[in-house]
Amino acid sequence: MPINLYDLSQDDLTDLLTQWGQPRFRAKQVWAWLYEKPVSTFEAMTDLPTPLRDRLRAEVTLGALSIADERISKDGTVKRLYELHDGQLIESVLMPYDDHRRTACISTQAGCAMGCTFCATGQMGFARHLTAAEIVEQAVRFAQVLHADGDRLSNIVLMGMGEPFHNYDASLEAIRRLMTDLGIGARHITISTVGLVPQIRQFADEGIQVKLAISLHAATDEERGKLLPVNKRYPLVDLIDACRYYIEKAGRRVTFEWALIAGKNDTPEQADALGGLLQGLLAHVNLIPLNPTSGYDGRPSDPEAAKRFIAILESYGVPATVRVRRGIDIDAGCGQLKAAVLRKQRGTTVSVDDIP
């Protein structure tokens, strides 16, 4: 199997090219084309001699992800479904914002073992962990697209398919590479977890300024356990205690993700419970109108319910905002495009209810 250049450190790349009889500065040139001015073909590495480009093309690969599907939303969001070397499928999303942020949402696993009932990825189960290189390459691919347009990738969120803290070592290695190799600042990277308490504490001890987001979605153990099975192992009292530890160690606030589900967790009672749970904590609540899936019958809350919810949280001193929904017309929610493609491959019909 050919060497994937994204598997190599800069020292590894230097060793490879010196073994080929190339001067050391050639490795720096190749590295720049990989990460500093990222390109998607060896032909685009214009300051390399033709024989070297020919050998690179013959003996190594520029990545290991193959685009299986791509959809572009009317709001500019780009969603890609990638096929991995073993046939597994993962998703990545590029979201452009009016304030010039360019955010990549990337996956850390093929599937997910957490089983969250309203999530398309959770409904399909777990296949395998991604390697650090497979995680990093998703961001690099979007950096290539933006670089070709004279733009740059500014933010990365590990909120795609999978639970990053279930794949802790590879996720942390990928984060460090995104910072050092791709040049994304720690404060422009967010890692999201359903609440794996030991890993939250371990992450706090890492001493890096990457943002932490917690998928909360309910403010009582009874209700959260129905939506997120992990709550039965790590109940809210343990989760909030771990979040306090992170805040003390990192000096950063925690973002709590809350998928607003009409009539279920958007009620005044749930808002009061959430306000009481987070009161006094350095935190922010990110309210996300639910992206419906075929495996869950919930529907997104209406704007008035969201406003009432925010007002109640504010009475507890807990700030909250509603996240702008992106790519609704292209199955941009986590796992939705893969689920749609798999249904098509099986010959099943995608109903109107499957499309948010």
Spatial separation of the C-alpha atoms in residues 108 and 127, rounded to whole Å: 11
For 68, phi then psi, to 5°, come to -95, -25
Calculate the CA 43 to chain-centre distance.
30
294: left (phi over 0), alpha (psi -120 to 50) or beta: alpha
* Number of Cβ atoms within 10 Å of the Cβ of 122: 27
Alpha-helical regions (H) of the chain: 10-19, 24-31, 50-59, 120-124, 132-148, 168-180, 197-206, 221-227, 236-250, 268-278, 303-315, 336-346
Whole-number Å distance between alpha carbons of 26 and 17: 7
Query: What's 130's DSSP letter?
Result: P
How far is residue 214 CA from its own chain's centroid?
13
Catalytic member of 105, 112, 116, 334: 334
Q: Is 334 a catalytic residue?
A: yes
Compute the CA torsion angle 84, 80, 96, 323 (nearest 10 deg): -90
Q: Give yes or no: 248 in active site.
A: no
What one-character DSSP code corresponds to residue 66? E
Bridge partners (DSSP) listed for residue 92: 80
Q: Which of 70, 91, 223, 243 is catalytic?
A: 91
| 290 CA to centre of own chain | 17
Catalytic residue positions, numbered: 91, 334
